[in-house]
Chains A and B, each alone.
Chain A
Amino acid sequence: MIESGHVLNVSHLTVDYGNENTPALALRDVSLSVDPGEFVGLVGESGSGKSTLAYAILRLLHGGRVVEGSIEVSGQNVYELDSNHLRKFRWETVSMVFQGAMNSLNPVLTVEQHIFETIRAHDESVTLTALRSRTDELLDMVEIDKRRAQHYPHQLSGGMKQRVVIALAIALNPKLVIMDEPTTALDVVVQRAILDRIGEIQKRQRFAVLFITHDLSLVEQIAQTVSIMYAGKIVETTPVEQLLTGTLHHPYTRGLLNAIPELLEDNVAISSIPGHPPEITRLPSGCAFHPRCLYAKDECRMSPPILKLYAGSWIACERLPELEELYSDQ
């Protein structure tokens, strides 16, 4: 499945956090690709495996194993890199804004030291002047005052730390930046500002983004493609316009779309879908969504559905052809 042209190509990836006796499959047969410069949104409830996918791409799974499938970045299999190339691949090719960006910075180093060490780790001969001017440039890009360069993490607000982490993520001009819920811990105003900044920088620097969130409304405005994840599986991949124009979608996606107004008020429960996501150690048979699905039939309990192209979207649902009718009956 070597499709050149993609910056990221994840194919049939399965990740297990369990042991031989009790498997805990956080990702099951996940396939996803990102084109150069593309902005892809990855949306799913808490525990659906979004962060696991992000860590798997950087080969940073602690306690988890890739049991099947492969991850290629620019045609290179990430899991075949030797340790030296892996160190360079991390950050020079793919960088990541962590979900816990508030705690991503070393408490005993200044903002500037973080930027310096990151660049130095990949370019030993870089001069101090070059480091300084690059730091100014990066801080400018994320709209942080130059004087903050000498500050320690505890002297910065949450939003500022987030911007510093973003500055670090783009410091080496990577081809792909993974952003794992980069704005979740922030208030709405700061969230908006940071999102706009990310959009602008991305247009200027032309890197691809894999943007992870549980909030569908957030990516609707910024992404080109959106993948929906449920219990470790991608249930739908669709161009963003299709979300707005209301074409046919997976029942779960449909639930998420209906949930958006409520999500804005308090982003806790997806109330339009009854029930809870399953535990990864006790997954339902067949389609993992079937216990919560209004349209589930016997065949949904049999075998897991695979993604099929239908009216411009990739959808994994046994009842795909009938969905149109089923929806209109309501």
Chain B
Amino acid sequence: MKFVAQRFLFLLLSVWAAITINFFLPRMMPGNPAEVMLARYQGKLNPQALHALALQFGISHQPLWVQYWSYLISLLHGNLGVSVSYYPTPVTTVIAQSLPWTLALAGTATVISVVAGTWLGVISAWHRGTIVDDILPIATTVSSAIPYFWMALLLLYLFGFLLGWFPLGHAYSTIMVPSWSAGFVGNLLAHAILPLSTILISSLGGWLMSMRNNMLHILDDDFMTFGEARGLSSRRLVYIYAARNAILPNLTGFSMALGFVVSGALLTEIVFSYPGLGYQLFTAVENEDYPLMQGLFLIIALAVLLANFITELIYARLDPRVREE
């Protein structure tokens, strides 16, 4: 319990740090991009919006701590400013609309990839020296050597363009009205398959190989042979002995992957015009939409921190050596 409280305190501290950095970063950018941006929007936005933008980017005569304080207060109210590319939609609304898409697509893909890749790594290592262990690593090494971006284009070209099996982009057909009807869900899935496969194919191999390597190390440990000598079942030896220990070094990787789900699908989302956070980030950069960028960075940072926190709790559950420290 003390451990959980300690980690939670650390989470709060790092969230505060992330928020603070998010406040200072635009104020420290060289060449004063905020003013450049303001100049660009002069005449396009109404004076109130311009003033709000100016405040958000530190073009203000108020002392820094007053600015910081009002920034914190507005954050507490869920106010991240107004997006300029989607003017006058607030940044929070843009994020709230794209987050579910990213979670559903990249989240699902990452979870499947981690679980399946890890499991295949276990199987591959356990059957070392057999045909299974010859084929699996080669197949996945090849697939993970292909960059996300390229894989996305390849799948899109083959199955979307040439064969026409799947739609070319977006989350669902624009003629459909969102609902829970079978037709619409089917349409969603059809749109999700190519981007999902892209993420899966490109990342699965990495999980497989790292789990396999950890496993091979553990399999040589004395406690494995000692378990075998005591007549334990091979099920127990694979899962409670080998896999249970081999997974520990990978937990940090899982947490990074989960944290970066929010941003990690960037390229895939761009290629498939999938309306998730990655796609929004791309739009924001293209349109120099600083408020949206800032909001997205904050969300990404928070996601990474939260995933880290959860992983630490899981780590402590799985590894008794961590619990007491």
Contacts and interface: CB of A to CB of B under 8 A. Distances in A.
Interface string A139-173: 00000000000001010000000000100100000
B222 interface: yes
A104 B223 contact: yes
Q: 10 closest Cβ contacts across the A-B interface?
A: A103-B222, A104-B226, A152-B320, A100-B222, A90-B231, A87-B231, A91-B231, A91-B230, A106-B223, A118-B230
Given A98-B222, A100-B222, A121-B236, A107 B229 contact: no
A92 interface: yes
A91 B229 contact: yes
A95 B231 CA distance: 10
Contacts of B229: 58, 60, 90-91, 95-96, 98
Given A100-B222, A103-B221, A121 B245 contact: no
A62 B225 contact: yes
B21 interface: no
B321 A152 contact: yes
A107 B222 CA distance: 11
B231 A107 contact: no
Nearest to A94: B229
Interface string B189-229: 00000000000000000000000000000000111011111
Contacts of A88: 231
A100 B225 CA distance: 11
A168 B225 CA distance: 14
Contacts of A103: 221-223
A108 interface: yes
Interface in A79-134: 87-92, 95-96, 98, 100, 103-110, 117-118, 121-122
B232 A154 contact: no
Nearest to A86: B231
Contacts of A107: 223, 245, 319-321
Interface residues of A, number: 29
10 contacts: A91-B230, A98-B229, A103-B223, A104-B222, A106-B227, A106-B241, A117-B236, A121-B232, A154-B321, A165-B226
A73 to B, nearest CB: 14
Interface string B309-325: 00000000011110000
B46 interface: no
B322 to A, nearest CB: 10
Interface in A30-69: 58, 60, 62
A313 B225 CA distance: 35
A161 to B, nearest CB: 11
Nearest to B242: A106
Contacts of B228: 60, 90
B226 A108 contact: no
A108 to B, nearest CB: 6
**Most central of B225, B229, B231, B245 by chain A CB within 10 Å:** B229
B240 interface: yes
A125 B221 CA distance: 30
Interface in A268-294: none
Which of B236, B241, B320, B321 counts the most A-chain CB atoms under 10 A from its CB?
Answer: B320
Contacts of B130: none
Contacts of B244: 106, 108
B163 to A, nearest CB: 48
A58 B222 CA distance: 15
Nearest to B320: A152
Given A88-B231, A90-B229, A107-B223, 10 more contacts: A87-B231, A90-B228, A90-B230, A98-B222, A98-B226, A103-B221, A106-B244, A121-B236, A165-B226, A168-B230
B6 interface: no
A264 B233 CA distance: 42
A57 to B, nearest CB: 10
Given A106-B245, A108-B320, A152-B320, A121 B223 contact: no
Q: Which of B226, B230, B232 has the most CB of A within 10 A?
A: B230
B225 A60 contact: yes
A105 B245 CA distance: 12
Contacts of B230: 90-91, 95, 117-118, 121, 168
Interface in A161-189: 165, 168
A4 to B, nearest CB: 25
A168 B240 CA distance: 18
A109 B223 CA distance: 11
Contact of B231 (A62, A92, A105, A109): A92
Contacts of A108: 240, 244-245, 318-320
Contacts of B240: 106, 108-109, 117
A117 B232 contact: yes
A110 B321 CA distance: 11
A25 B215 CA distance: 30
A152 B223 CA distance: 14
A95 B229 CA distance: 7
Contacts of A98: 222, 225-226, 229
Contacts of A89: 231
Interface in B269-316: none
A92 B231 CA distance: 9
Nearest to B319: A108
Contacts of B223: 103-107
B220 to A, nearest CB: 9
Nearest to B220: A62
Interface string A181-223: 0000000000000000000000000000000000000000000
A89 B229 CA distance: 9
B3 to A, nearest CB: 15
A220 to B, nearest CB: 28
